[in-house]
Amino acid sequence: MWPKASFESGSVVAADAVQRGVAEVNTARSDVGLPILIPNRANEIVVSVFDERHARGPGGRSIYPATSNQEAFLATFASDSAGGFEVLFLIRR
């Protein structure tokens, strides 16, 4: 079982990073009339790293020679001012 991580139980640095990310996203969201995000320090931070060994090309065909498609992301959850709930991707590579 993986340990649970939240920016409440994590470091001040993680909490500050999430707050900065939410502030940046909210600026853009308010500029286009979308509800702003409301972070909750008790929400988990999701970290995912995966390596897709059989990446697909155009039309779903296998790519030859086989290539590796490596991706990682860091995300958290946030409510929004319209009563919704959203995933906020903080980093995606």
Radius of gyration of the chain (CA): 17
- pLDDT tens-place string over residues 58-89: 777 776 666 677 788 888 999 999 999 999 98
pLDDT band at residue 93, thresholds of 50, 70 and 90? low
Answer whether residue 40 is part of any domain.
yes
The model scores a pTM over 0.85: no
Task: Tell me what pLDDT residue 17 has.
Answer: 79
Does residue 75 lie within any of the structural domains? yes
Instruction: Identify whether 58 is part of a domain.
Output: yes
pLDDT of 31:
95
Which two three-digit tokens encode residue 81?
Answer: 């001012």
Residue 79 lies in a domain: yes
pLDDT in tens, 24-66: 999 999 999 999 999 888 888 888 888 877 666 777 777 666 6
List, in order, residues 6 or more apart from 52 with CB less than 8 Å away: 68, 69, 70, 71
Is residue 36 packed enough to be buried (19+ CB in 10 Å), middle (13-18) or exposed (0-12)? middle
Average pLDDT rounded to a whole number, residues 19-25: 90
| Residue 49 confidence (pLDDT) | 86
Q: Which domain holds residue 60?
A: 12-92
Q: Is 66 among the domain residues?
A: yes
